[in-house]
Structure 1
Amino acid sequence: MAAMTALAVAVRVVMFDHESFDYKGFVKSWYDFISAHGGFSALKYDFANYNVPYLYLIAGLTYLPVPALAGIKIISVVFDLALAYFVYRVVALRHPGRWSPQLAALIVLFLPTVATNSGMWGQADSLYSAFGVGGVYFVLRRRPWVAGVFFGLSLAFKLQAVFLFPLLVVLVLTKWMPWRALLAIPGVVLLLDVPALLAGAPLGRLLSVYGQQMGEYSELSLLAPSIYQFLPASADAAVIRPIGVAVTGLVVLGLCLGVRLSRVRLTAVNIVLVAATSAVLMPFLLPSMHERYFYLAEVLTVIAAFYLPRRLWHVPVLVQVASFLAYLNVLFPSAGSMPSEDPSGMDGFPPPGGLSEPDPIADLMANQFAPTLEFRILAALMAVAVVSMVWTTFREFRRDFPPGAQETPTRDALSVR
């Protein structure tokens, strides 16, 4: 296990020299801005569109003798390991004392999307996903307040943590989790804003960062293998986007109410299925999703496959193929598909008063997100994965339990003395 983990890290280190467009155009400029404006004191300025917990980590890098590119990727790799650890713990609840937990953790570490997301792309998706899967683990251990803290940490790093919120609704409706434990989520998010507030950042800007992100893109799909790939390129995004959001909300609400009305006794298997279904269904139905937004689904479908291998072994394969082939269009873009100049327009240094108004990315990539035959095939693969997860979850909730039956509390091998 240690040797394979070291190999997974080595694979990522080999990719460290690659500079993606997102790194050169955004993350590197944030690092340079923080470094040029006094480290943590730079957080009072509006220079990035990420929430401040990730910027804290970047600010910490500026005080260390570590190159920016390597430091950014090391942060993501560390959370890759944390993600694999929680995958191990969740699967160990189902298969204590067997080889399955180790295998699940290694599979996640070697998933092409997980490895390239951190080692090559330098993205931060492993951060919110590690805390999200950790939240699922503590839910299964019936530790609701700790789970709420982990879900809050996940949301503090990225908005995509909301893909797990339908699970929280189900947990509250079925009384598996007290609703008061949900207060830990906004509490953690607000608590993590305090250092930025002390540095001089206005509270309004800190609270509105996710609202600004939601209005940042107008395209129906940003290279995500979602349902919007089946629409024609001429589809009116301004009309379809609000409809897509409303339909997604109704579908999620209907599924949650269906669980509540079924009055089925919630089990560990059901919780894992709801988490995985939610993580793959929401980015498939929501508009303006990036290709990376299936990251949490890639991990949770692996866990679900270890919980119900005969019925779900093919789902993580489909999700991985669809996601990774979409990744390649961004990691290795065709000539002319990406802007050649720095999108900040200021040689990596956005003005202290905020982000620059012009958006050359939208102008130069207007046709980059148009549906193609390739992405319709990837979306079809993802659709099969979504249907499989929904149908399996539905069947599991329809199973009959003997009167008075009660699930044995889950305990992993590490908790047994």
Structure 2
Amino acid sequence: MKKELALDKFIRNLIDKYLFEIAVGLLILISVFIRFKLAPNTELSPDYDFYYREWVEFYRQNGIIKGLSNAPGDYYVPFNVIYALSSLFPCEAWVPLSIVPGICELISAFFIYKIFYLLTGKKRCSVFIGVMTLYLPFVIFDGALWKQVDAVYTCFLVISIYKLLKQQYRASIVWYSVAFAFKLQSILFLPLYLIIYITGGFNGPADEEKELSERSAFSILEFLWIPVVYLIAGLPEVLAKHGLRATYFAYLEQTGELDSEGYGMVSFFPNIYNWGFDDHYKLLSTAAVMVLAAVLVVIAVFCYRFRERIDRNLVLYLAIWTSWTCVILLPGMHERYDYAMLILLTPFAIMVRKKIMPFMVVANICSLIVYGITLFGAKIIDISYISVFYVASYLFVTADIIGLLNGGNERSEA
């Protein structure tokens, strides 16, 4: 038998001891390489040439202070600061605008690992599932190809959910407030916090049980962090003399664009408004918001009625379900607005609630088809048909979580 070389022996020992760590490292590097290859393409993005590149060029021509005083676009201040800082780099605008979401995707992956390690105690599976979120098509396409920034506010949302599951309510609300200051779509998760407040917290694991008074230490005053952080986030433009109204009313102006720019009831998002209701925004938009409010009230009452059954797993399930409810019923939803919901639903179905895996897969396929339509022009299926499958998946998940809350005997773990 031939003697094994010392180098080969060293490599084999390294593989024996650290195969999992090596695999994780390689998977992360491959995900970075995929983004590196896709990022230079700016032709597929429907927004890069008309908005993002122009905004960066605006700051290059005017400087950061003058640029912020006349901030272009309709984003709130934190994103305008990102575009302003991107103008400082001597490269094409797509470079920093691809790096920023890429970094936030990695942060989200890390905290998804922490969330599912907290829920399941399975460290390696949780690490793997966190890394796998880097390979979800909508995650890759949104940042690398579209140059969108959904990954930025989502990473703060994921951190806030992790802190919430740890029952660190103040920290959770503060991180949520940061997410809200970055993007209005964070409001899709606000119903979760209201429900948790109304129910007086939730049940922790048996080895972490606390007195009811301690578990209920989620004061309504914590919600004041949302306007406080929002006001602080606007200071760069206020100090640059952009004006109080122009700065702090940014979100109000964004909601007005749904009508003024002709988006209608829905914009390439597979919800119920694709079934013949899209062109009736003025007639239906207010009613749609009121219907959502009524549904959320019913959800809150239902959760309060069965509050003793809410544990960590159900808190995360409620986060997914309530935000999914919002995108199904709210008017003016765009193709990317379920980004945060899907990035939580996917690992949750795999790690915790395997029963809903088929519906998670359908939701991801619907998302992939929609990105194919908006980025690649691949109109192989009409959006109204996609909506049937997407809404059906939501309804099955709705039935499942209602059964969990109402049944009591079936645990929320797989």
TM-score category (smaller protein): 0.7 to 0.9
In the alignment, what sits opposite 2:370?
326
Alpha-carbon shift at residue 401 of structure 1 (Å): 7.1
> Which of 72, 75, 85 is matched with 1:50 structurally?
75
Question: In proportion to residue count, which structure has more helix?
Answer: 2
Q: Does 1:26 align with 2:51?
A: yes
The Cα shift of 1:291 comes to 0.5
1:276 aligned residue (320, 331, 337): 320
Shift in Å at residue 232 of structure 1? 5.6
- Following superposition, the deviation at residue 221 of structure 1 comes to 1.0
Higher relative contact order (CA 8 A, sep 6+): 1
Whole-Å separation in 2 of the counterparts to 1:263 and 1:82: 32
TM-score by length of 2: 0.84
What secondary structure sits across from 1:21 in the alignment?
A: coil
Aligned to 1:230: 275
Give the equivalent residue in structure 1 for 2:295. 251
8 Å contact kept, 1:139–1:147: yes
Q: Is the 2:265–2:277 contact (alpha carbons within 8 Å) kept by the matching residues of 1?
A: no
Match 2:227 to one of 162, 165, 186: 186
Answer whether contact 2:71 2:80 (CA < 8 A) is retained.
Answer: no
Distance 1:122 1:225 in 2: 22
Partner letter of residue 348 of structure 2? A
The separation in 1 between residues aligned to 2:258 and 2:134, in whole angstroms, is 31
CA RMSD, Structure 1 to Structure 2 (Å)? 2.0
1:98 deviates by 3.5
- 1:377 is aligned to 385
8 Å CA contact retained: 2:324, 2:338: yes
Residue identity in the other structure for 1:278: T
Match of 1:210 among 237, 251, 273: 251
What is the CA deviation profile of residues 91-145 of structure 1, one whole-angstrom value per residue up to 9, with x for unaligned ones?
1112224332122212211000000101111100001111111111000111111
Q: How does 1:118-267 map to 2 (within 5 A)?
A: 118-176=143-201, 177-218=218-259, 219-231=264-276, 235-267=279-311
Show CA shifts across 1:380-411 (max 9, x none).
12112211221222122124379xxxx9xxxx
Query: Partner residue of 1:387?
Result: 395
Query: Structure 2 counterpart of 1:195, which letter?
Result: P
The answer (yes or no) to whether the contact 1:304–1:312 under 8 Å persists in 2 is: no
Which of 31, 38, 44 matches 1:15? Answer: 38
- Quote how far apart the aligned CAs of 1:378 are: 1.2
User: Does structure 2 conserve the Cα–Cα contact (< 8 Å) formed by 1:155 and 1:161?
Assistant: yes
1:237-266 alpha-carbon deviations (Å, 9 max, x no partner) = 311121111111111121112111334342
Partner in structure 2 of residue 115 of structure 1: 140
CA distance in 2, matches of 1:58, 1:329: 27
Change in CA separation of 1:271 and 1:307 when aligned onto 2, cut-off 3 Å: farther
Q: Distance in 2 between matches of 1:375 and 1:90?
A: 33
Q: CA deviation at 1:227?
A: 0.6
Larger mean CA deviation between 320-329 and 224-233 belongs to: 224-233
Q: How far did residue 33 of structure 1 move?
A: 0.8
2:27 aligned residue: 4
Q: Distance in 2 between matches of 1:138 and 1:236?
A: 40
**In the TM superposition, what whole-angstrom CA distance separates every residue of 1:157-178 from its partner, at most 9, and x where no partner exists?**
1111011011011111012232
Q: Secondary structure at the match of 1:293?
A: coil
Query: Equivalences for 1:346-361 in 2 at 5 Å?
Result: none
Contact 1:40–1:56 (8 Å) recurs in 2: no
Q: Which amino acid aligns with 1:292?
A: R
- Report the 3-state secondary structure (helix = DSSP H, G, I; strand = E; otherwise coil) of the residue aligned with 1:299: helix
* Cα deviation, residue 210, structure 1: 0.7
State the TM-score, normalizing by the size of structure 1.
0.84
Q: Distance in 2 between matches of 1:11 and 1:166?
A: 36
Contact between 1:269 and 1:307, CA under 8 Å: does it hold in 2?
no
Residue aligning to 1:337: none
Determine helix, strand or coil for the equivalent of 2:200. coil
The match for 1:354 is none
CA distance in 2, matches of 1:270, 1:51: 32
Q: What count of residue pairs does the alignment treat as equivalent? A: 366
Letter in 2 for 1:252: L
Residue identity in the other structure for 1:213: Q
| Alignment match, 1:72 | 97
